[in-house]
Structure 1
Amino acid sequence: MKNYLIITVIVLITINMKAQEQKFYYNDSDYITFIKKGSGSISLVYLHGFGASKNSWDDFYPLLDSTKYTSYLIDLKGFGNSSIPKDNKYSLNENKKILTKFIDSNVTQEYYLFGHSYGGGVSLLLATSKKLRNKPKLLILMDCAAYNIDTPFFIKYLQNPFLSNTMYLFSTPKIRAKFTLNRIVNEENYTKKILNRYVESFKGAGKKYSFVQSAKQIAPENYEQLIAEYSKIKTPTLIIWGKQDMVLSVKQGELLSKQIENSKLVIIDICGHIPQEEKTDETFKIVEAFINNQ
C-alpha cells in the first residue's frame, strides 16, 4: 500500500508539471514552451543560458513571493521542450524577435527581465529594441553574454564540424553534460541535481541541430553596433557574476557595468558560471535587495 501511494503521488506530480507547460506559437507550426507560475501583479520573465532550459531557474524562482509576482519561465528556440525547426534561424536576434512577440502578447503588466549567459545576450537585445512595446522595468543579468570576447569552449566545439560530429557520435547526453559542467561550475557547488538537470536539457531528437546552429550563429553580424547600444540602456540593471567563472570572465561584467550607466555589479565568490544554481540563496538575497531598493 505504501509503495502504491508513493507511485500515485509521483504520477500526480508528473501530470501536474506537464499540465503547467504551455506553448507559444510564433508562426503557424513552430513554438517555444514556457511555464507560468504565481498570481502577482508584477511579472518576472526568465531566459536561460546556452544548452540549458527553463529548468535552470527551478531553485531560484520559488524564492520570490508568488502572490506578488507572476513568473514566466521560457525555453528559448531549439532548447528545452521548444520546437526545433530546420530553418537555419538560431541567432540571438531570432530569439529577440520571438520574445518580442511573446512579451507583447502575454506580459501586459510591469515586469522584470532575468537573463543568464546566452539568455542575458537576448535580454540586452530586448532592452535596446525599438520594436518591443512593453519594456522591462528592471534588468537582471547573470554572467551575461554581452561581448564577442573569449568564445566559450563548448561553442568552439559545436562550431567545428569534426569535433561536434565526433562528440555526438561517441558520447551520451550525460557524458556531454558532465564534460560541460566540470568546466563551468565551481567544484564546490557541483551537485547531482545540477547534472541531472543538464542531462535532460541535452536530451532530445534534433538537439544536435539546434545546438550547432545556435553556436554557429551566436555572434551577430552587427555585433559592434549592438554593443554600442548598451550605453543607451536607462533601465535599472543588476549584473551578477561568479568570481570563478571560466566561461565569461569577470572583466566582461566590469566592462558591461561601466557601459550601462544605471547599473550595479555584484561579484559572488566561490561561484562559476551559473549563480542561480550554484549559489541560489546568495543570488536571491542580492536580487531581493536590488528590487527593494528601486
Structure 2
Amino acid sequence: MTIWNDLTGLDHHLGYVDAGGIRTRTLRAGEGDEAVVFLHGTSGHLEAFVRNIPAHAAAGYACHAIDMIGHGYTTGPDYPYRIPRYVDHVLAYLDACGIDRAHFVGESLGGWVAGRLAADYPDRVSRLTLVAPGGTVANPQVMERIKTSTRKAVESDDIAFTRKRLELLMFDPAANISDELVEIRHAIYHQPEFVKALPNLLCLQEMENRVEDLLSPEQMGRITAPTLIVWGAQNPFGDVPEAHNLHRSIPGSRLEIFPECGHWPQHEHADHFNALHLGFLNGAQA
C-alpha cells in the first residue's frame, strides 16, 4: 500500500493557503457544513492522516490536514516555534478558509496545539480529539530522544536514520512504515529551509521553553469542547498514567487506550480509530 492507494477514489486537493503570511501546505477533501482539522506531531507532516481522511470525507465532513509552521512544506519563519505561534497559525488558516468553528484532531504536538486553542478560543472548537498529545509534562529523557533522533535524521544523508525516527512512533514498524513514507519524510527533512529552521522546530524540547508552554491544569480545566483522548498502550513518548492525568484534568473527557499501539494510534489502528472518532463526532458520549 502507498499513500496514493490510501487516497484512491477520494476527490481531494493538495495545495497551499496563505495563512497570515505563512505559505501553508494543506490536503483538503470532503464536503459538508462541519470541518475537521488534523494537526500532526513534532517534525511530522500531513501524511500522518492519509489513513483517516477518506473515511471522514465519506462520512460528510470537510477535512483539512495541514503542515504546521516550519513542518512539511509549510514556510518556516525565523523565530522559535512556541505554542502560541502554532495556535496563531492555525487560527489564521481557519480565517483564510472561512471556517468559524471546527472539530480538531491533534496528534502529539498537534494535540498540544489543539488543546491550547480549545482552552483559549473555545468558540472556534466544536469537538476535540487528542491523539497521544504532548504538552502536559517535561520529561528530559523523552525530550532528548526526540532531539537526538530528529537531528540525526536531518543532518545525515543516510535514509536509515529517517526510518529509525519513524520507527520510534510505532508498536509494529514493519506493518506501518512503508518505503514511501520514509522517502517522503527524508525529502522533507533535507530541504535547505527545513534544515535551517530545525533549531526553531525543536525549541520545545528545551526545558525553559517547554515548561513555560506546558498545558497547565488551569488551561485544561477551561476546555469546554467535548473531548476524546486516544492513547497507545506502548506510547514511547508518554506512559499510560500521563493519559489518565490528562483525562482527569479535562472536564467530561473520554479516554480510550489502544493495545499494541505506539505514538500513532490513528495510523497503526486506522479502522478502529476512524470508527471510534466518527462515532464521537456524531454525538457519542464524550
Both structures adopt the same fold (TM-score exceeding 0.5): yes
Q: Is the 8 A contact 2:106 2:133 kept in 1?
A: yes
Provide the rounded CA distance (Å) in 1 between the counterparts of 2:70 and 2:37: 18
1:180 to 2:165 alignment? yes
With over 3 angstroms needed to count, the CA separation of the structure-2 counterparts of 1:168 and 1:200, relative to structure 1, is: closer
With over 3 angstroms needed to count, the CA separation of the structure-2 counterparts of 1:168 and 1:222, relative to structure 1, is: closer
1:216 to 2:203 alignment? yes
1:138: which partner in 2? Answer: 127
Among 58, 63, 75, the residue aligned to 1:71: 63
Larger radius of gyration: 1
Provide the rounded CA distance (Å) in 1 between the counterparts of 2:274 and 2:215: 33
2:280: which partner in 1? Answer: 290
Provide the rounded CA distance (Å) in 1 between the counterparts of 2:212 and 2:203: 15
Report the RMSD for the aligned CA atoms in angstroms.
Answer: 2.7
Provide the rounded CA distance (Å) in 1 between the counterparts of 2:98 and 2:258: 31
Q: Is the 8 A contact 1:53 1:75 kept in 2?
A: yes
Provide the rounded CA distance (Å) in 1 between the counterparts of 2:185 and 2:226: 31
Displacement of 1:144 in angstroms is: 0.2
Among 26, 40, 56, the residue aligned to 2:32: 40
Provide the rounded CA distance (Å) in 1 between the counterparts of 2:33 and 2:225: 19
Provide the rounded CA distance (Å) in 2 between the counterparts of 1:224 and 1:33: 26
Provide the rounded CA distance (Å) in 2 between the counterparts of 1:77 and 1:173: 25
Displacement of 1:168 in angstroms is: 4.5
Q: Is the 8 A contact 2:29 2:53 kept in 1?
A: no
Q: Is the 8 A contact 1:139 1:235 kept in 2?
A: yes
- Identify which range, 255-264 or 202-211, moves more after superposition: 202-211
| Count of aligned pairs between the two proteins | 269
Among 193, 197, 219, the residue aligned to 1:206: 193
Q: Is the 8 A contact 1:139 1:237 kept in 2?
A: yes
Displacement of 1:244 in angstroms is: 0.6
1:106 to 2:116 alignment? no
Using the aligned pairs only, state the percent identity. Answer: 20
> How big is each residue's C-alpha offset from its partner over 1:245-267, in whole Å with a ceiling of 9 and x where there is no partner?
11122221111100001210000
What one-letter code is carried by the residue in structure 2 that aligns with 1:257? H
Displacement of 1:174 in angstroms is: 2.2
Taking structure 1 as the reference length, the TM-score comes to 0.81
1:191: which partner in 2? Answer: 177
Provide the rounded CA distance (Å) in 1 between the counterparts of 2:187 and 2:147: 22
Q: Is the 8 A contact 1:44 1:69 kept in 2?
A: yes
- Identify which range, 132-141 or 233-242, moves more after superposition: 132-141
Q: Is the 8 A contact 1:80 1:201 kept in 2?
A: yes
With over 3 angstroms needed to count, the CA separation of the structure-2 counterparts of 1:244 and 1:112, relative to structure 1, is: same
What one-letter code is carried by the residue in structure 1 that aligns with 2:56? L
Write the mapping of 1:127-166 to structure 2, written as runs, cut at 5 A: 127-129=118-120, 132=121, 134-150=123-139, 151-157=142-148, 164=151
With over 3 angstroms needed to count, the CA separation of the structure-2 counterparts of 1:139 and 1:210, relative to structure 1, is: same
- Identify which range, 115-124 or 186-195, moves more after superposition: 186-195
Displacement of 1:167 in angstroms is: 6.1
Provide the rounded CA distance (Å) in 1 between the counterparts of 2:225 and 2:111: 14
What one-letter code is carried by the residue in structure 1 that aligns with 2:229? I
> How big is each residue's C-alpha offset from its partner over 1:205-263, in whole Å with a ceiling of 9 and x where there is no partner?
22223332221235445336744210111110000001111112222111110000121
